[in-house]
Chain A
Amino acid sequence: MNPTTDLAGREPILQVRDLVKHFPVMSGGVVRRRVGDVHAVCGVSFDLHEHETLGLVGESGSGKTTVSRTVLGLETATSGQVRYQGRELTELSRRQMRPLRRELQIVFQDPYASLDPMITVHELVAEPLRIHGRYGPGAGDEVRELLRLVGLNPEHGNRYAHEFSGGQRQRIGIARALALRPRVVVLDEPVSALDVSIQAGVLNLLMDLQSELGLSFLFVAHDLSVMRHVADRVAVMYLGRLVEVAPARQLFARPAHPYTQALVSAIPLPDPRKERARKRVPVQGEVPSPVRPPSGCRFRTRCPKFADQLTESERAACVEKVPELVDRGGGYPVACHYAESVELL
């Protein structure tokens, strides 16, 4: 959470290269055949550094959750590499992966579905320790300490998950993820199910944990305001591809990709005067099907720049050529042939 830190030259703790994940679409009937693919993730590359929060943001169907699950091996990658501290994860067997799971943990979105209702909160937090053979003498104290750490009363360890509110359940999920002292935590929409007054407490908790423990967060969310608050760098996804990766401050102040611009300008600001005076970048239509994504640039079917500003010959590039995610003079990578920074806030 220190946007001024210079990340260049430091070895990333997690490297993702050309990650691809396709899900088969099967036909109906007796003999089910593969009739197509959902192109959920198509050639996504990014680095996560130590002590860094990398935000992965996108709308539904952008593939952000699939990326986070594939990175942890919860989905098998179709192709591509995931390197954790120099070690290739996609080639490991489940058995080989197991010791590494201590270091790579996840907090799920739905605090109602992700906690076993049949066991006490103490057992929920103790479970990861037991599974990894670390529940020895003194582990009971360790669990109580974990509960205290995330802002829960350790005396409530003998209660069940349903006795807690949504925000408290999410804290239980965080305590579970922390139990094995991981280095990398994937947070998959950790606050989107919570009311704002509760969400703020969980965000403060996560930021405290990160800065004190030096964790690396891959923070997946659809809420750009949350991203602006927690992330050091933000990667924007659209229909399976990254379109822009930049430090949070720059990304929101001067987005260069037309999709990022549309996203930023669509977020309503809780400030009446500013909100009414803002410039808008309206986009047409909705996200196309990932079964048959558009050729070339996937955003072109909704892109206001493509529709209103480009000439016929300029558009040809958008239709024929996939724009690469490279620095186009703005200092950070953008996947648009005609990228141009615009101030929107």
Chain B
Amino acid sequence: MTDTVLEVADLAVEFPTEDGTVRAVRGVGYRLGRGEALGIVGESGSGKSVTALAVMGLLPATARIRGSVRFDGEELLGLSDARLSEVRGKGIAMVFQDPMTSLNPVYAVGYQIAETLLRHNPGMKARAARERAIELLGAVGIPSPERRVDAYPHEMSGGMRQRVVIAIAMANDPDVIIADEPTTALDVTVQAQVLDALETARAETGAALVLITHDLGVVAGHTDRVAVMYAGRMVETGSVEDIFYTPRMPYTLGLLGSLPRLDREEARLTPITGSPPSLLHLPPGCPFTPRCPLARDACLSAEPPLRPAGAEGHLSACHFSEELVGTGAEEVFETAGADSEALARFADAAPLNTPEEGTV
């Protein structure tokens, strides 16, 4: 896809704190083609949400932001708030994890959709905006939208509220929708409904999608390309097939191996030992080194850049990515569980409790 709608380059975000500087995002870059869906995955603290907030200009004033975010060729970083408000909603729309933080509790949902419409379409009449609001509610799968249009957010369930947020996001026909963990708080049957609503929004508006999630299953079904984040950087990007079938970064491989699967019986999962590093005092070298089974001296001195790894457009940030060709997670990672010696001693030491006769 040559027609780029959103281009992020060398994005870095730092938060000064009393203990030092937290380097939340350390040089993230991606191009989003028109109509394309990009999944950004990573665990808590990997910087995936901060990246999205930086793109939208929604970070607190204390954050130090460097790099470039270009929407349709226009640089967004450093733009005035007034101009940014034009872009937000009409050019780029956002769906957050918790719909209660994006909806105003004291206004009916129809009013809030109409408000978005009127804000970006000065000539629009209130009646037309209300009609359109009802249409949008119907489009995202809310039953009897002509009645629901006057409901308040608290009268709706979580899944219904998230669909209202999606209706607001698609209201002004945006070119990009950024969805940050849009289904994380929802039950799985409701998650499926909300993801369907998101697909509808994309189909109707032709918008490109940035889907931020920790759920690899959601990414597999709804995106064309995937970027994996770790410790504030992208450590692997590629087509959804590249990432899921031929991962070339040990972290990605471990993540896939640690997932229990509904569609197969795996004898053992491959946990990644340890925890992600603190972004406060990041040592030099690859941040995954302390948890990586392939790590050696070279990993401690230099942080590997994203480099081509196999198929076109598949990049990985690992000095030894070629060693992963043709391996599975269980060959690289240990499948540790209990300490086997301690377990054997514990099992031998004393029998499990047996009912004590006559105590009751």
Contact = CB atoms under 8 A, between A and B. Distances in A.
Do A and B belong to a common assembly?
A: yes
Contact of A212 (B275, B338, B350): B338
A266 interface: yes
B346 A213 contact: yes
Interface string B289-304: 0000000000000000
Interface in A262-281: 262-276, 280
A272 B238 CA distance: 13
B43 to A, nearest CB: 4
Interface in B339-360: 339-340, 342-347, 349-356, 359-360
Given A148-B339, A204-B335, A209-B343, A196 B188 contact: no
B336 A204 contact: yes
A113 B6 CA distance: 42
Interface residues of A, number: 76
B214 A195 contact: yes
B160 interface: yes
A271 B266 CA distance: 15
A96 B350 CA distance: 24
Interface in A190-222: 195-209, 212-215, 222
Contact of B254 (A197, A273, A274): A197
B22 to A, nearest CB: 18
Given A212-B344, A212-B347, A222-B187, A268 B360 contact: no
A274 B340 CA distance: 36
A286 interface: yes
Given A167-B275, A286-B159, A200 B270 contact: yes
Contact of B360 (A96, A195, A267): A96
A78 interface: no
Q: A-side binding surface: helix, strand, loop or mixed?
A: helix
A275 B220 contact: yes
Q: Which of B196, B220, B254 is the most central at the interface, judged by chain A CB atoms within 10 Å of its CB?
A: B220
B154 interface: no
B148 to A, nearest CB: 13
A150 B214 CA distance: 26
A146 B356 CA distance: 23
Given A262-B189, A286-B157, A286-B159, A200 B342 contact: no
B191 interface: yes
B191 A266 contact: yes
B14 interface: no
A268 B222 CA distance: 10
Interface stretch (A14-22, A34-42, A223-231): A223-231
A204 B263 contact: no
Nearest to B266: A229
A180 B354 CA distance: 11
Contacts of A60: 187
B267 to A, nearest CB: 10
Given A149-B339, A268-B215, A268-B220, A197 B271 contact: yes
B360 A266 contact: no
Contact of B192 (A151, A206, A266): A266
Interface in B263-292: 263, 265-266, 268-273, 275
Would you list the 8 A-B pairs with minimal beta carbon distance, nearest first?
A: A268-B217, A204-B337, A201-B271, A200-B258, A229-B260, A200-B271, A200-B269, A208-B338
Interface of A: 59-60, 85, 87, 92, 96, 99-100, 102-103, 145-146, 148-151, 165, 167, 178, 180-183, 195-209, 212-215, 222-226, 228-230, 249, 252, 262-276, 280, 282-287, 302, 345
Given A183-B353, A196-B258, 5 more contacts: A145-B342, A145-B346, A202-B271, A228-B265, A271-B244
